[in-house]
Amino acid sequence: MIRAVVFDVGECLVDETREYGTWADWLGVPRHTFAAQFGAVIARGLDYRETFQVFRPGFDLDAERERRAAAGQPEWFGEEDLYPDVRPALARLREAGLWLGIAGNQTVRAGGILRELFADDVDLIGTSDDWGASKPDPTFFERVAEVVPVPPEETLYVGDRLDNDIRPAAEAGLRRRGHYRLDLARAHLWSGHRDRALAELERAEATAPQLIRNHPIARATLRRIRRAEHAAGSERLRRMSTRFRLED
């Protein structure tokens, strides 16, 4: 039984497209070029920071963050960067009586922004800078297990990456259901295979119906499939949209 849900931040609650675009601008490279290289780095299972090394070998991310802040261009995200279904999903999970948390690889500054955005929505917000440990280090997930007031086997960690989130969370004893399928669904959608993407969404939904139907990434992926299908959407797609309560 799931009694607590802890969410990752980037590409789970926060759409980082705009923020990574500002990094491309800072580096002086086209945004689409940066995005393509970022995707290639993630696909190879590497740390996202390797992307910066491609464009500027020896790049020091911490130092560059300070330079950006000094130049009046600090890293930042706000309400407009949240996936549209984040707040409804959190509200429904809260109504269901679940303990909610947010924990991810984030700076102290980002932690402050998260607390401004979600102080009234979740029970705890923790960052890698707060804890001195970053994913996928097991210590990070040990800290998650320590701060959540229910046993690890009753805690679900929601992340977007198999290597950084799902696998190490499972090794720490935290539950994870369906989110690997969400990764696959998005990958199939990006490569133009909408039927395969829909199939993975169905498999994810079968493992944890309520959580997946309210999950921002699952809902955003289903919306993209619907837009791509237009009026030719299948009965199968319409039934799933009804279960997800997506409006036309």
- Residue-level pLDDT, tens digit, the chain, 248 residues: 789 999 999 888 999 889 999 999 999 999 999 988 988 887 777 788 899 999 999 999 989 999 999 999 998 899 999 998 899 999 999 999 999 999 998 988 899 999 999 999 999 999 999 999 888 788 888 888 899 999 888 888 888 776 677 677 777 776 655 566 777 787 778 777 888 889 988 988 876 677 788 888 888 889 889 888 765 568 889 899 999 988 75
Q: Which residues face 10 on adjacent strands?
A: 14
Q: Does pTM top 0.75 for this prediction?
A: no
| Rounded Cα distance, 74 and 232, in Å | 44
Q: At CA 102, angle to CA 156 and CA 128, rounded to 5?
A: 110
Q: Which helix (H) or strand (E) holds 4?
A: strand 4-7
Same domain, yes or no, for 113 and 150? yes
Containing structural domain, residue 93: 4-8+83-160
> What does the pLDDT read at residue 136?
79
Residue 94 belongs to domain with CATH number: 3.40.50.1000
Q: What are phi and psi of 75, to 5 degrees?
A: -60, 140
Residue 167 falls within a domain, yes or no?
Answer: no
Residue 88 falls within a domain, yes or no?
Answer: yes
> What does the pLDDT read at residue 9?
93
User: Helix or strand or coil: residue 198?
Assistant: helix
| Rounded Cα distance, 6 and 140, in Å | 13
Count of Cβ atoms closer than 10 Å to residue 132 Cβ: 10
The domain tally of the chain equals: 3
Q: Which residues face 125 on adjacent strands?
A: 102
